[in-house]
Amino acid sequence: MPTLNDALRHFELPRLEARLLLSHVTGLSHAGMVSAGADELPAAQWQAFSQLASRRLAGEPVAYLLGWREFYGREFAVSPAVLIPRPETEHLVEAVLDKVGRKRAANVVDLGTGSGIIACTLALEAPQWQLSAVDLSPAALAVAQGNAANLGAAVLFYQGSWLTPLPESMRFDAIVSNPPYIERHDHHLAEGDVRFEPRMALTDEHDGLACLREIAATAPARLLPGGWLLVEHGYDQGAACRELFAAAGLQQVATLPDLAGNDRVTLGNKP
Ligand code: GLN
């Protein structure tokens, strides 16, 4: 039988990915795997590891194989029903916390919540806020609800398109969204991990701005005076988003970069 160290070297996988998959199969931490490196791997674990490694080599994302991904310091369950959390989205979370202020009561909604990372993170980072979260996909909502329950995040969930399932009288201190913003012919949709993600979470099947347009056109009416609209978007969509926000009557419109220096988040304030 191969040892743990043999298993780590057996497949042509990057070492970090092999470690994550082997840790998942053995239940050992990275430190635990180092000290048990020369031990034989039980046959069932070798088989489970081999299967995961083969699937990874065939392209399946590590996050789907493990069933989780870290976001803002917490583990979120993910499945092929939801987009895999991206580190860029942490900028969106930071911007909402910064603009609204975590030390007061606020009513905040996350549109197209997917795995629920934005809504759950905000609910846990700003316990005085009331979070709502909307998604069109019942399968995604089930993942998000599971995450909220696991993490103890108090979030109200609604199934439907953007703002439509929310009670008509609800008004918000912030409306936040990471909508599908990839143009339908973008080559990224056919590459890497993205191939395995839900297409409806990635592309609007149009020019990439269709959902951003709809959100910019409908959200301001649902904001309280002084409320903020904040969206994540593609690196080349900053100017278009600022125009949409300004045309919708929002003020203090600005775009924030991600850590790579790319335009990533646009925000605006309702006067
Ligand atoms: N940031 C993601 C990507 O580049 C897209 C996420 C989205 O469309 N909301 O793959």
Tell me, yes or no, whether 120 lies in a domain: yes
SS3 at position 132: strand
Separation between Cα atoms, residue 136 and residue 200, nearest integer Å: 10
Q: What is the pLDDT of residue 1?
A: 82
Which one-letter amino acid corresponds to residue 27? G
Give the percent of the chain with pLDDT over 70. 100
CATH code for the domain in which residue 221 is found = 3.40.50.150
Whether residue 86 has its Cβ less than 6 Å from ligand 1: yes
Q: What distances in angstroms separate CA 97 from CA 102, 146, 237, 265, one per listed residue?
A: 6, 23, 23, 13
| Mean pLDDT score, 175-198 | 97
Residues 51 and 93 in one domain: no
Residues 89 and 216 in one domain: yes
Tell me, yes or no, whether 112 lies in a domain: yes
Give the percent of the chain with pLDDT over 90. 100
Dist. CA 82 → ligand 1 center (Å) = 12
Residues 13 and 142 in one domain: no
Single pTM value for the model: 0.96
Bridge partners of residue 72, in order along the sequence: none
pLDDT in tens, 133-146: 999 999 999 999 99
Q: How many domains is the chain built from? A: 2
pLDDT in tens, 108-117: 999 999 999 9
| Mean pLDDT score, 147-164 | 98
Residue 111 dihedral angles phi and psi, to the nearest 5°: -95, 125
How many residues would you count in the chain?
Answer: 271
Whether residue 76 has its Cβ less than 6 Å from ligand 1: no
Tell me, yes or no, whether 208 lies in a domain: yes
Separation between Cα atoms, residue 130 and residue 143, nearest integer Å: 20
Whether residue 238 has its Cβ less than 6 Å from ligand 1: no
Residues 185 and 104 in one domain: yes
Residues 187 and 247 in one domain: yes
Separation between Cα atoms, residue 7 and residue 43, nearest integer Å: 11
Separation between Cα atoms, residue 153 and residue 203, nearest integer Å: 28
Place 233 in a pLDDT band, splitting at 50, 70 and 90: very high
Q: Which of 43, 58, 73 is the last residue of a domain?
A: 58
Residues 48 and 111 in one domain: no
Dist. CA 42 → ligand 1 center (Å) = 39
Q: What is the pLDDT of residue 160?
A: 98
Range of the domain at 12: 4-58
Q: Which of 22, 43, 58 is the last residue of a domain?
A: 58
Separation between Cα atoms, residue 111 and residue 145, nearest integer Å: 14
Residues 187 and 101 in one domain: yes
| Nearest CA among 114, 163, 154 for reference residue 130 | 154
Residues 229 and 118 in one domain: yes
Residues 160 and 243 in one domain: yes
Residue 128: which residues within 8 A CB-CB, separation 6 or more? 102, 103, 104, 105, 106
